Amino acid sequence: MDIIFFIFFMAIFTVIFSFLGYLGYKKTKTAEDYFVAGRKMGALVIAFSYGATFISAVALIGFSGIASLYGHSILWLAFLNIFVGILIAFVFYSFRTRKMGLSLDALTLPELLGNRFNSRKLQSVAGIIIAIFMIAYTSAVFLAIASLFQVTFGISYELCVVIFTLIVGIYLIIGGLYAVMWTHAIQGILMLVGMLILTVGIYSMLGGIGPAHEAAAALTPGILEGIGTPAATLAPNGLTSMPPFLSQPFMMILTLIFGVGIGVLAQPQLITRYLTAKNEKALRLAVPYGGVFILLMTFTAFSIGPLCNVLMVNNGLTYPGTPDKVLPLIVSELFPQWFVGFFLFAVLAAAMSTASALFHTAGASIGRDVCEKGIIKECSHKKSIYITRIATLIIIVATLIITLNPLDVVAFMCAFFFGLMACTFLAPYTLMLYWRKISRAGAWAGMLGGFIFTMIWYILIYFKTAPNIIGQPIIGDYVINMLDPLFIGVPLSFILTILFSLLMKQDNEEEKIMKKAFENI
């Protein structure tokens, strides 16, 4: 691919995003502006920002590659992405989160927890957990996209990482959440157009939905082995059928579907989007936009993944070695050159949108939740923004260093992310919104219990992480060691939260805050 094309597109990205960063800077006067875009965002921007934060380059490239191996059964994840990630999330979580955030004057998830339970320590600990794991997650996002650009344009990996981090860092630090959400709208449109062209292109190459799926179903293990893909063993019943119940591929699909599908409810970077809404109507109207956006992202990516095998067979291509390279191979071999470049920049937009949201949330966690509220206690709006800008810069530099020197532990921490956030925050967050009797002790027990259990599960038992940390999982049975910690960690966290709330009830101060929190609900 032409290097001039790369420079041209990067220049356009830089100019537009820096301009939006400048506009955000002009609009940012208070801490509320910097952290939650002044609580002035409309439905369309919220929906695009939520979708662009949710769907990263990993979801587009990585999951479509996984779909090429495990087949269409991964479509259950697309269903959960819309049903849980949009419908349940917005209808049951967004309104209450926004109202409680307003009543308690909270700008981040840890601050919401801290103010609701009258505990700065709780806020700081939540902030530290979020920041540490978000650095690893962001690093993994940059690692994937920089590797892709290195292969396509022949530019050094290090230069790609520095350029991408710099662009995101500039508009984020200058413009705060205003800039992040406006750039998300543009990045979301790029992602939509890219995925639409790709999906329509692949289905039309194969003669439409029915014939394309039938062609995928007709691929026998022998044919799949012929192109060198492990799909022959990973999709034993064929690419358009569910694998046998409780088989290893079935457990893999199950863990992926629920880990990501349910984990979405407790992602701090997504919860921040609820707090930005100008009114309840904006959140209600974000549902249809968000639903359609996720449909056009994940449903298309997961649908075309298995069809890549048919295209490889039909065009004499062979499996490129790793699932991440399947979709780029199909695009580069079978699509016109202009689209190859466009698609790469759509994937870059997906990576940048997720990275900017993660940087912002991690920066706010350290700046606002740990430094300002945990250490300094009280300060002016200007100082608050200043502290968070410095914290965000430190997070960005730390991410840059880690991405330039990738460690195995980063990949594991990234794999931990969705499950860990769900096991740590889902129970206290949900009960805080719906149960008036939840106490500070309950929130601590649920949060720390879920966190510690998940870490132990990932280190000692989980099949993906334990072998690389301790050599061999302590439980050999694959039905158990392939189970996502979420299946046990989330119920455990709920039980601990309820149990400790009943045993150690709210004090008078907590009761007062509880009444204030439910004032507008």
Partner 1 sequence: MSLILGMDGWVFAAWLLTIISAILCVLYGIYHQFIKKSNENEKNAKKKIKKKIEEDE
- Measured from the CB of residue 294, what is the shortest distance to partner 1 in angstroms? 8
**Pairwise CA distance, residues 201 & 203, whole Å:** 6
Q: By CB under 8 A, is residue 384 in contact with partner 1? A: no
Lookup: tokens for 289 = 């936009």
* Nearer CB in complex with partner 1: 283/427: 283
Q: Which of 241, 315, 468, 472 binds partner 1 (CB under 8 A)?
A: 241
- Measured from the CB of residue 222, what is the shortest distance to partner 1 in angstroms? 19
**Pairwise CA distance, residues 182 & 41, whole Å:** 10
In 28-87, which ranges are continuous DSSP H helix?
Answer: 31-36, 43-54, 57, 63-70, 75-82
Q: Where are the beta strands (DSSP E) in 426-510?
A: none
| C-alpha distances in Å from residue 479, one per residue of 74, 75, 192, 463, 483 | 18, 21, 37, 10, 7
Contacts with partner 1 in 62-121 (CB under 8 A)?
71-73, 75-76, 78-79, 82-83, 86-87, 91
Q: In this structure, are residues 187 and 350 in contact, taking their beta carbons and an 8 Å threshold?
A: yes
- Measured from the CB of residue 156, what is the shortest distance to partner 1 in angstroms? 40
User: Within 13 Å and on the Cβ side, how many CA atoms surround 432?
Assistant: 35
- Measured from the CB of residue 510, what is the shortest distance to partner 1 in angstroms? 34
- Measured from the CB of residue 144, what is the shortest distance to partner 1 in angstroms? 25
Size of interface with partner 1, in residues (CB under 8 A) = 39
* Nearer CB in complex with partner 1: 301/426: 301
* Nearer CB in complex with partner 1: 281/437: 281
* Nearer CB in complex with partner 1: 124/298: 298
Q: Which of 44, 151, 242, 379 binds partner 1 (CB under 8 A)?
A: 242
Coil, helix or strand at residue 154:
coil
- Measured from the CB of residue 215, what is the shortest distance to partner 1 in angstroms? 8
Q: DSSP of 308-361, one letter per residue? A: HHHHHHHTT----SSGGGHHHHHHHHHS-HHHHHHHHHHHHHHHHHHHHHHHHH
- Measured from the CB of residue 274, what is the shortest distance to partner 1 in angstroms? 16
- Which amino acid is residue 93, in one-letter code? Y
Q: At what angle do helices 209-217 and 157-205 cross, to 10 degrees?
A: 110
Contacts with partner 1 in 277-336 (CB under 8 A)?
281, 284-285, 287-292, 294-295, 299, 303
* Nearer CB in complex with partner 1: 224/432: 224
Q: By CB under 8 A, is residue 237 in contact with partner 1? A: yes
- Measured from the CB of residue 227, what is the shortest distance to partner 1 in angstroms? 19
Length of the chain: 521
* Nearer CB in complex with partner 1: 211/491: 211
- Measured from the CB of residue 288, what is the shortest distance to partner 1 in angstroms? 3
Q: By CB under 8 A, is residue 132 in contact with partner 1? A: no
- Measured from the CB of residue 415, what is the shortest distance to partner 1 in angstroms? 24
* Nearer CB in complex with partner 1: 99/213: 213
Q: In this structure, are residues 217 and 239 in contact, taking their beta carbons and an 8 Å threshold?
A: yes
* Nearer CB in complex with partner 1: 210/471: 210
* Nearer CB in complex with partner 1: 57/307: 307
| C-alpha distances in Å from residue 423, one per residue of 257, 265, 292 | 15, 11, 28
* Nearer CB in complex with partner 1: 60/441: 60
**What's the distance, Cα to Cα, between the start and end of the chain in Å?**
55
**Pairwise CA distance, residues 71 & 51, whole Å:** 24
Contacts with partner 1 in 14-73 (CB under 8 A)?
71-73
Backbone torsions φ then ψ of 104, nearest 5 degrees: -100, 5
* Nearer CB in complex with partner 1: 210/476: 210
Contacts with partner 1 in 205-224 (CB under 8 A)?
209-217
**Pairwise CA distance, residues 98 & 279, whole Å:** 9
- Measured from the CB of residue 478, what is the shortest distance to partner 1 in angstroms? 21
Other Cβ atoms less than 10 A from the Cβ of 380: the count is 10
Lookup: tokens for 297 = 């992202």
User: Which residues form the interface with partner 1 (CB under 8 A)?
Assistant: 71-73, 75-76, 78-79, 82-83, 86-87, 91, 209-217, 237-238, 240-242, 281, 284-285, 287-292, 294-295, 299, 303
